[in-house]
């Protein structure tokens, strides 16, 4: 296979809603590029890009799949991305390592929530977008309506390069307003007949041609001047203007294809080869030091590994982008992240499940290798004299969580090993062994996302597991001031134990001062703070520990033991056993014995005094609150809002964003357990949401009573 130079390489993501035909388009591209002799179908489970058993099981793309096409002396690297929002990690990965997004639109549905999500992600990463309207042969396809939706959502920068003469079962021709030609396909032929535009389409074609030329001219001053002077531009000028418009995201061309019948795919590949930006045209990616790395084949070698896959009959396959320099078979490189040396024994260009050996890859190219010793997703391998490291892919917060356990309790360690390995393949799976909840929690992007994990573990790994409702990480705090003292005394022959601690507890807020006097039942307690320690708690919030001992009532050497006893109780709050937070403790008095006092005595005295005072200080349970953003079609807004309010949500705001309604709310985590499933059911899968931890807030009184009763019942069961 030819070795391509950096100025001959283009990297492109294929994104869009589920069922928009991305994998089918990829299959047609591979066929047109000569990498396969026969096109497979998703239904027949024989496509090059969907080749994992779980993808055959569900009929969906689950993993982003790398493939390439050689076209007119250019190498076009593609990544076919899953359409479901549950597998958004694949699209995030792809958009970060490619330079342009092909955004597929289902011709019968138009702009869907998946379209919005894909465009929003491309916008976030500042990537050019080309819209490709697919499935125009469907009886419900309506190109004009789709175009209207696109221009309504994304503005007048959406400009057709092609439009169909007719849609539906009779679809077989488009007008190309860049070339000003008609393309017509005969049954079962991917090679079109190209001829002049018929008279009845001439006026419409010329109008759209003028729009395209004007849009291209707007992206370059010299082109604009030429346009004003001559009233038009050459084809090459228009291509140049479109390329500049793509780079600046000032232009979004629209193409027509029918991927399942391979109509328009050759013309699309031609456009991608001629017009889409090269890797050298795009903004440079910075390393973690902030230094921009130019894709220069003559520079030092740096490879960034963006995907790991465990593939049938091969094992671990590592996918990388050449960030700088070039890599050859047999190169010895250093893993900057792990400090280990690696030899790249084999290099491949990838075409889905097919791997084509290659001797060398240059800067900007995408390739794969196998049998590396110690390379993980996100690692960087460097040549001599360079210490580049990259960290530019950041995944969205999880939206769905379940506790996981093996059916056979003895398989816990094996299960964790499998989970950690699978997370290498999909970093949006987050595995948490929660000491607090005493559960292993798996976080993902949705119910289907975790259902896929379960299927793979049980079918591929032969590891039966079960999902359980995860416990909620509640917190405990206090709402008023209280005082308590406790004497620990134990005599059992020989040296005894003695420690007495008097303390005050109060709710803590940032910046609050310590009063000089506290009053309890008419009695005043004068405070003289000798030392204050601010302890940031691992689980959030703070413990403020104040030493106000005077006259040597307790020796300072016992204060760390008292603090340790208090911390032990904060790790298991007296209400529900949850972590306690945001408490100030003032130790102001106590007693000790010259012989029997020791650290254990004061630890127990401090712990019990704190527990008693905590119970008297208006203890309350706090629950985690999440910021939730929902993108929903306008006709479902009322249903979605009603459902959220039934989940104790506080609606924070509503706005319109590019054709969809955006709803912002604060919702307790407890109420979000099955939200992804409910939202999909309410909206027919047309809505999406994101969630991020916001803060802890007091639970309502009725819910606190319920939680206290549940905890009490659990404790009785243990006894």
Residue pLDDT, tens place only, 536-568 = 999 999 999 999 998 899 999 999 999 999 999
570-600: pLDDT as tens digits: 998 888 989 999 999 999 999 999 989 999 9
* pLDDT average, residue stretch 418-433: 93
- Please tell me the class of the 6-202+250-281 domain: alpha beta
Query: Do residues 71 and 270 lie in contact, with contact meaning Cβ atoms separated by under 8 Å?
Result: yes
pLDDT at 378 over 90: yes
13-58: pLDDT as tens digits: 999 999 999 999 999 999 999 999 999 998 888 999 988 888 888 8
Give the pLDDT score at 659: 67
* pLDDT average, residue stretch 77-91: 94
141-191: pLDDT as tens digits: 999 999 999 999 999 999 999 999 999 999 999 999 999 999 999 877 789
DSSP string covering 535-587, please? EE-TTSSEEEEEE---TTSS-GGGHHHHHHHHHHHHTS-TTTSPEE-SEEEEE
Question: What band does 719 get if pLDDT is binned at 50, 70 and 90?
Answer: low
Give the pLDDT score at 551: 87
* pLDDT average, residue stretch 90-118: 94
* pLDDT average, residue stretch 350-363: 93
Partners of 181 in the β-ladder: 176
Distance from C-alpha of 607 to C-alpha of 128, rounded to nearest angstrom: 61
The pTM score is 0.87
Second CATH level (architecture) for the domain 296-353+366-382: Beta Barrel (2.40)
* pLDDT average, residue stretch 219-224: 87
Second CATH level (architecture) for the domain 400-471: 2-Layer Sandwich (3.30)
Strands 660-668, 620-632: pairing is: antiparallel
CB hemisphere CA count around 372 (13 angstroms) = 32
Give the pLDDT score at 87: 93
Domain ranges in the chain are 6-202+250-281, 296-353+366-382, 400-471, 479-618, 621-702
* pLDDT average, residue stretch 337-344: 94
DSSP state of 181: E
- Shortest CA distance to 133 belongs to which of 172, 107, 159? 107
pLDDT above 90 covers a percentage of the chain that reads 82
Distance from C-alpha of 8 to C-alpha of 365, rounded to nearest angstrom: 10
pLDDT at 490 over 70: yes
Give the pLDDT score at 179: 95
Do 400-471 and 621-702 fold alike per CATH?
A: yes
Cβ atoms within 10 Å, residue 506 = 22
pLDDT at 313 over 80: no
Helix axes 265-275, 235-247, angle to 10 degrees: 80
pLDDT at 229 over 90: no
* pLDDT average, residue stretch 449-472: 94
- Shortest CA distance to 306 belongs to which of 124, 472, 79? 79
Give the pLDDT score at 164: 97
Q: What's the whole-number average pLDDT of the chain?
A: 93
CATH 3.30.230.10 holds for 479-618:
yes
Give the pLDDT score at 629: 95
Give the pLDDT score at 493: 67
Q: Can you say how many angstroms the Cα of residue 319 is from the centroid of all Cα atoms in its chain?
A: 19
Question: What band does 433 get if pLDDT is binned at 50, 70 and 90?
Answer: very high
pLDDT at 717 over 90: no
**Rg, C-alpha atoms of the chain:** 32
Give the pLDDT score at 628: 96
How distant, in Å, are the alpha carbons of 299, 400, 420, 525, 708 from that of 586? 62, 41, 44, 11, 28
pLDDT at 215 over 90: yes
Give the pLDDT score at 385: 84
Give the pLDDT score at 314: 81
- Shortest CA distance to 673 belongs to which of 398, 395, 454? 398
Distance from C-alpha of 182 to C-alpha of 440, rounded to nearest angstrom: 60
pLDDT at 445 over 90: yes
* pLDDT average, residue stretch 420-447: 93
DSSP-derived 3-state class of residue 137: coil
pLDDT at 498 over 90: yes
CATH 3.30.70.240 holds for 621-702:
yes
In terms of Cβ atoms closer than 10 Å to its own Cβ (0-12, 13-18, 19+), residue 715 is exposed
């Amino acid at each position: 296979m030819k070795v391509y130079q950096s100025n001959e390489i283009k990297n492109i993501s294929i994104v869009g809603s589920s069922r928009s035909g991305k994998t089918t388009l990829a299959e047609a591209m591979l066929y047109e590029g000569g990498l396969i002799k026969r096109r497979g179908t998703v239904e027949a489970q024989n496509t090059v890009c969907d080749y994992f058993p779980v993808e055959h099981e569900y009929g969906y793309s689950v993993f982003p799949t790398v493939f390439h096409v050689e076209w007119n002396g250019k190498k076009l690297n593609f990544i076919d991305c899953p359409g479901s929002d549950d597998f958004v990690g694949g699209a995030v990965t792809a958009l970060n390592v490619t330079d342009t997004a092909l955004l597929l639109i289902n011709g019968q549905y138009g702009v869907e929530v998946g379209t919005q999500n894909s465009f929003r992600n491309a916008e976030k990463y500042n990537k050019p977008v080309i819209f490709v309207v697919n499935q125009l042969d469907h009886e419900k396809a309506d190109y004009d309506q789709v175009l209207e939706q696109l221009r309504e959502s994304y503005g007048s920068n959406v400009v057709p390069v092609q439009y169909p003469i007719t849609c539906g079962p009779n679809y077989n021709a488009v007008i190309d307003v860049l070339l000003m030609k008609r393309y017509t396909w005969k049954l079962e032929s991917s090679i079109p007949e190209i001829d002049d535009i018929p008279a009845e389409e001439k006026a419409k074609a010329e109008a759209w041609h003028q729009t395209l030329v004007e849009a291209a001219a707007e992206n370059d001053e010299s082109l604009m001047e030429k346009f004003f002077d001559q009233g038009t531009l050459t084809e090459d000028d228009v291509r140049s203007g479109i390329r500049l418009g793509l780079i600046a995201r000032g232009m979004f061309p629209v193409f027509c294809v029918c991927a399942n019948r391979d109509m328009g795919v050759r013309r699309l590949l031609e456009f991608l080869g001629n017009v889409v930006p090269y890797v050298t045209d795009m903004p440079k990616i910075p390393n973690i030091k902030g230094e921009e790395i130019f894709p220069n084949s003559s520079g030092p070698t740096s490879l960034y590994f963006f995907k790991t896959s465990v593939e049938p009959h091969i094992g671990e396959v590592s996918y990388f982008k050449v960030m700088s320099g070039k890599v050859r078979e047999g190169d010895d490189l250093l893993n900057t992240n792990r400090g280990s040396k690696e030899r790249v024994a084999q290099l491949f260009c990838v075409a889905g499940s097919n791997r084509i050996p290659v001797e060398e890859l240059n800067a900007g190219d995408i390739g794969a290798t196998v049998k590396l010793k110690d390379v993980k997703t996100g690692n960087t391998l460097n040549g001599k004299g360079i210490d580049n490291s990259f960290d530019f892919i950041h995944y969205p917060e999880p939206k769905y969580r379940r506790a996981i356990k093996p059916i056979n309790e003895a398989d816990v360690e094996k299960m964790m090993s499998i989970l950690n390995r699978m997370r290498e393949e999909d970093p949006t799976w987050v595995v948490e062994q929660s000491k607090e909840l005493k559960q292993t929690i798996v976080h993902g992007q949705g119910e289907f996302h975790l259902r896929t994990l379960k299927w793979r573990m049980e079918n591929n790994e032969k590891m039966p597991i079960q999902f359980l409702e995860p416990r909620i990480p509640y917190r405990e705090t206090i709402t008023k001031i209280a005082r308590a003292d406790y004497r620990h005394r134990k005599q059992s022959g020989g040296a005894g134990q003695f420690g007495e601690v008097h303390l005050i507890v109060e709710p803590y807020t940032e910046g609050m001062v310590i009063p000089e006097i506290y009053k309890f039942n008419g009695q005043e307690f004068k405070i003289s703070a000798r030392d204050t320690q601010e302890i940031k708690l691992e689980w959030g919030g703070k413990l403020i520990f104040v030493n106000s001992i005077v006259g040597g009532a307790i020796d300072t050497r016992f204060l760390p033991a008292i603090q340790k006893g208090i911390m032990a109780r904060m790790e298991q709050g007296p209400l529900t056993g949850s972590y306690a937070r945001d408490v100030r403790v003032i130790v102001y008095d106590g007693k000790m014995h010259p012989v029997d006092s020791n650290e254990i005595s004061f630890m127990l005295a401090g712990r019990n005094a704190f527990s008693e005072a905590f119970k008297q200080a208006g203890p309350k349970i706090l629950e985690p609150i999440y910021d939730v953003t929902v993108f929903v079609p306008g006709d479902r807004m009322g249903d979605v809002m009603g459902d959220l309010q039934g989940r104790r949500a506080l609606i924070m705001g509503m706005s319109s964003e590019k054709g969809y309604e955006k709803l912002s709310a604060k919702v307790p985590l407890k109420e979000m357990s099955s939200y992804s499933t409910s939202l999909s059911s309410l909206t027919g899968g047309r809505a999406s949401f994101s969630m991020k931890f916001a803060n802890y807030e007091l639970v309502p009184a009725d819910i606190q009573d319920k939680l206290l009763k549940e905890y009490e019942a659990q404790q009785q069961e243990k006894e």
